[in-house]
Amino acid sequence: MSENQPLSLGKENYQNFAERYAAAIETKPHNAYYERPATLSLLPNNVQGLRVLDAGCGPGIYTQWLLDLGAEVVACDVTPKMVEITRQRVGNSAEVYCADLEQPLTFAGDRSFDLVVCPLVLDYLLDWYPVFCEFFRVLKSDGILVFSCGHPTADFIYSQSQNVTSADYFKIEDFVMEWRLFGKPYPIIKSYRRPLQAILNPLIQAGFCLDRILEPQPTESFKIADAEGYEHLMRSPGFICVRSHKPGQVVG
Ligand SMILES: C[S@@+](CC[C@H](N)C(=O)[O-])C[C@H]1O[C@@H](n2cnc3c(N)ncnc32)[C@H](O)[C@@H]1O
């Protein structure tokens, strides 16, 4: 990385927050009872024997889940502390790389994965077309990409609520939020907010076929843990989850 290139937003946010994040999200309702069940519902029913890339693995919860179900997992994350935590979690049972999704994935060969999962990571990347092209390159024909990110409507409403009077739904904009559900001091997390077309069009331009969009609602376990948050998320979007695939060769 050249001196003039900005530090990855991912690393900036998470290097000093990784341990708290890792400790919280095993049971934090937004992750455990909302985002993860939704994203996992988009994965193939049987992942046994599949070669999976966990792109932006964070503390490795998805990596562990996939390993437990018999997948062969390669994980990567831009934040060294996250890589360390994932390595501690899974030992030698997965390859874990410190890698930036904004750069070519040099550790991954062409057509070498059946599945790429990328939950709650892309919000930290400005330009999604190159990373979708990389996911396309490393997937086999008919390989599946599942990702989740902030819901474009939810994030725009939040921007407006912060009196960002210049907020423009149709632009990709800086999105800064104080996260209050991880204890104090509250981390200030920087990411990008984008319209729906800026989520889906780079995916389609990279060659993927869209299979399913999920605007999830929380599970019943969320209600037990946080009744107020549950009522809110039953009526307002929070995340969006997308499943797509790399089309196989067209015959004829
Ligand atoms: C909200 S956490 C999600 C972690 C994990 N996917 C999960 O859902 O449990 C976001 C993760 O994305 C990683 N990340 C952000 N930008 C990245 C980039 N450019 N390349 C690789 N990882 C990145 C961060 O380091 C962090 O671990």
106 exposed, middle or buried (CB, 10 Å; 0-12, 13-18, 19+)? exposed
Q: What is the mean pLDDT of the chain?
A: 94
Question: What are residue 137's phi and psi, to 5 degrees?
Answer: -60, -45
Q: Which two tokens stand for residue 98?
A: 């410190």
The pLDDT tens digits for 160-208 are 888 766 889 999 999 999 999 888 899 999 999 999 999 999 999 999 9
pLDDT band at 2 (very low <50, low <70, confident <90, very high): very low
Q: How far is the CA of 54 from the centre of ligand 1 (A)?
A: 10
Rg (CA), the chain: 18
Q: Residue 54: CB within 6 Å of ligand 1? A: no
Q: Is the pLDDT of residue 1 over 60?
A: no
Q: Is the pLDDT of residue 252 over 70?
A: no
What is the pLDDT averaged over residues 85-102?
98
Closest ligand 1 atom to residue 56 Cα is 22
What span, in angstroms and rounded, lies between the C-alpha atoms of 124 and 192? 6
Domain ranges of the chain: 9-245
pLDDT band at 4 (very low <50, low <70, confident <90, very high): low
Of the chain, the end-to-end C-alpha distance in Å amounts to 45
User: Cα dihedral sign for 172, 178, 179, 180?
Assistant: negative
Q: How far is the CA of 53 from the centre of ligand 1 (A)?
A: 13
Q: Do 227 and 121 meet the contact criterion of CB atoms below 8 Å apart?
A: no
pLDDT band at 144 (very low <50, low <70, confident <90, very high): very high
Q: How far is the CA of 251 from the centre of ligand 1 (A)?
A: 38
The residue nearest atom 17 of ligand 1, judged by CA position, is 10
pTM equals 0.96
Burial string for 210-219 (b: 16+ CB within 10 Å, else e) reads: eeeebebebb
CATH number among 3.40.50.1010, 3.40.430.10, 3.40.50.150, 3.40.718.10, domain 9-245: 3.40.50.150
What is the pLDDT averaged over residues 72-78?
98
